[in-house]
């Protein structure tokens, strides 16, 4: 087995070998196609839409806050279960902890599924205003706005009693108001006018919690989660007299809207018809699709079993077809008299760069069918 080293510099000074991340071990579910993305750090490339966006957000914070935000963008994505979940109060039985949702390197180490994994540590190091940008990893569904590796920027701001006492508001309302004002200002800085709306939601680490959605390609697209930090998180780092807000932006989602990028896979393209369209500091240049190659659809039906999950199916399709898969969609489901449930999935293949041949797609589909049968132990119909 070749030892593929990821550059030491690229992972916060930690040298990581493939054997450290991908293992044939039941406590490890990291496939090679995910390992190959580690250390790419698209968000640190000034000519890449994600780097251009990160820099534009930095600019907003630099211009609008006299109290400078400390910036981190090369913290290692390998974090402990404690950092990723416990430190941000994710309950022991929360779905996000499952092997179905998160990539585990071993039982105590994960590929971070959000940049919130760094909140508690930075807080206890004494930082009170900070931005953390990084690649995050999730087992997830497959379509044009979801990818198993994407990028987030975390923002965190701590307030002192002096900040809210003069306002006449209670601490929580003060922080929530400031948070929304900050993010609405950021949205205007990035987009000018854009249709957006706030949705109430739940996160274990904030209360109240909100999501911001932006209208894009005829749909509301969720671009960020945020809220007023749970007091317990502040208390644990000795800040029981403070209040704070936090947000987590999905950088691809914002960049899709800003640059008119229709498919999330394009961020990984090395085709210069993509890369040459973006330049340092140029925010919101509209992407001109160089062509749209025809999609190819393949359906497959099978009887599911108790352990079947859609994320597991998507993982297999990704492992076989890589970026050639555009969408995996459940198109039919029924349960027969014996209580057996059948699912029919439509797999959409399309290359961003060229036309796929029938032979090639048939081969992919054949491999998907074999893998699905042997790994998921389902009965193909
Ligand atoms: C979180 O990850 C929270 N940590 C955000 C947060 C931080 C809330 C601090 C409160 C305080 P969520 O799972 O909703 O939340 O993800 C945040 C954003 O990441 C989403 O709004 C979306 O823009 C983006 N996102 C989520 N999943 C994917 C995916 N598979 N591909 C691309 N972007 C995604
Ligand atoms: Mg969400």
**Alpha carbons 250 and 153: distance in angstroms, whole number:** 7
pLDDT of residue 20: 86
**Which of 145, 255, 146, 248 shows the shortest CA–CA distance to 191?**
255
- pLDDT for the residue numbered 4: 40
Q: Which band of pLDDT confidence, cut at 50, 70 and 90, is reported for residue 2?
A: very low
Nearest CA to ligand 1 atom 18: 250
- Distance from residue 99's CA to the centre of ligand 2 (Å): 19
CA distance 316 to 147: 14
Q: How far is the CA of 114 from the centre of ligand 2 (A)?
A: 11
What tokens appear for 59 in the block?
Answer: 């600019």
Ligand closest to Cα of 210 equals 1
For the cut 90, the answer to whether the pLDDT of residue 190 exceeds it is yes
The ipTM (two decimal places) reads 0.98
pLDDT in tens, 101-116: 999 999 999 999 999 9
The whole model's pTM is what? 0.93
User: What residue has token string 């698209």?
Assistant: 42
296-380: CATH homologous superfamily? Ferrodoxin-fold anticodon-binding domain (3.30.70.380)
The CATH class, in words, for 5-267 is alpha beta
- Return the structure tokens found at 211: 């999501």
Distance from residue 279's CA to the centre of ligand 1 (Å)? 26
- Average pLDDT for 246-262: 96
Q: Has residue 225 got a pLDDT over 70? A: yes
Looking at all shown ligands, the one closest to residue 88's CA atom is: 1
pLDDT at position 7: 35
Report yes or no: 199 and 211 within 8 Å, Cβ to Cβ. yes
Q: How confident is the model at residue 14 (pLDDT cuts 50, 70, 90)?
A: low
Give the mean model confidence (pLDDT) for residues 257-280.
95
Interatomic CA distance for residues 258 and 20, integer angstroms: 37
Closest ligand 1 atom to the C-alpha of 138?
30
pLDDT at 11: 55
Task: Give me the mean pLDDT over the 117-144 stretch.
Answer: 97
Residue 277: count other Cβ atoms within 10 Å of its Cβ. Answer: 17
- What average pLDDT score do residues 69-92 get? 97
pLDDT score, position 193: 85
Two tokens at 381?
Answer: 């119909």
Give alpha helix (H) positions in the chain.
18-21, 32-35, 49-64, 81-84, 119-124, 161-165, 171-191, 231-236, 251-259, 272-275, 310-321, 358-376
Residue pair 303/378 in contact (Cβ under 8 Å)? The answer is: yes
The protein residue whose alpha carbon is closest to atom 7 in ligand 1 is 248
Ligand 1 atom closest to residue 245's alpha carbon, by position in its atom list: 11
Average pLDDT estimate for 28-33: 94
**HEC letters along 194-258:** CCEEEEEEEECCEEEEEEEEEEECCEEEEEEEEEEECHHHHHHCCCCCCEEEEEEEEHHHHHHHH
Backbone angles phi, psi at 366, to 5 degrees: -60, -45
Residue spans per domain, the chain: 5-267, 296-380
Ligand at minimal distance from the CA of 255 is 1
Q: Which atom of ligand 1 is nearest to the CA of 221?
A: 23
Smallest CA separation from ligand 1 atom 15, residue: 225
Around ligand 1, the residues with Cβ closer than 6 Å are 114, 116, 138, 140, 146-147, 150, 152, 154, 203, 205-206, 209, 222-227, 246-248, 250, 252-253
């Amino acid at each position: 087995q070749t030892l593929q080293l990821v550059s030491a510099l690229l992972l916060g000074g930690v040298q990581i070998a493939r054997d450290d991340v991908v293992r044939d071990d039941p406590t490890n579910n990291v496939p090679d196609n995910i390992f190959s993305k580690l250390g790419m750090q698209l968000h640190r490339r000034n000519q890449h839409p994600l780097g251009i966006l990160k820099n534009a957000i930095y600019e907003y914070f630099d211009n609008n806050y006299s109290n400078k935000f400390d910036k981190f963008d090369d913290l290692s994505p390998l974090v402990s279960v404690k950092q990723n979940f416990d430190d941000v109060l994710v309950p022991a039985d929360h779905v996000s902890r499952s092997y179905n949702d998160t990539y585990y390197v071993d039982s105590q180490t994960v590929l971070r599924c959000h940049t919130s994994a760094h909140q508690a540590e930075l807080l206890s190091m004494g930082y009170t205003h900070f931005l953390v940008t990084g690649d995050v990893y999730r087992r997830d569904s497959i379509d044009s706005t979801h990818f198993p590796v994407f990028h987030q920027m975390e923002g965190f701001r701590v307030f002192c009693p002096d900040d809210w006492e003069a306002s006449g508001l209670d601490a929580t309302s003060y922080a929530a108001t400031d948070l929304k004002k900050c993010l609405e200002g950021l949205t205007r800085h990035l987009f000018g006018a854009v249709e957006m709306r706030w949705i109430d939601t739940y996160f274990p680490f904030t209360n109240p919690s909100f999501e911001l959605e932006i209208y894009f390609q005829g749909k509301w697209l969720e671009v960020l989660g945020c809220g007023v930090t749970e007091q317990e998180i502040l208390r644990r780092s000795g800040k029981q007299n403070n209040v704070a807000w936090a947000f987590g932006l999905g950088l691809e989602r914002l960049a899709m809207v800003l640059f008119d990028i229709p498919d999330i896979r394009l961020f990984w393209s090395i085709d210069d018809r993509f890369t040459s369209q973006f330049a340092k500091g140029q925010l919101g240049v509209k992407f001109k699709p160089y062509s749209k190659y025809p999609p190819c659809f393949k359906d497959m039906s099978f009887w599911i079993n108790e352990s079947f999950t859609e994320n597991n199916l998507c993982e297999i399709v990704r492992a076989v077809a890589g970026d050639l898969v555009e969408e995996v969609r459940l198109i039919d489901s029924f349960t027969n008299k014996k209580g057996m449930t059948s699912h029919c999935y439509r797999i959409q293949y399309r290359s961003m760069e060229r036309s796929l041949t029938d032979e090639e797609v048939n081969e992919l589909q054949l491999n998907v069918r074999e893998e699905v049968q042997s790994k998921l132990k389902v009965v193909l119909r």
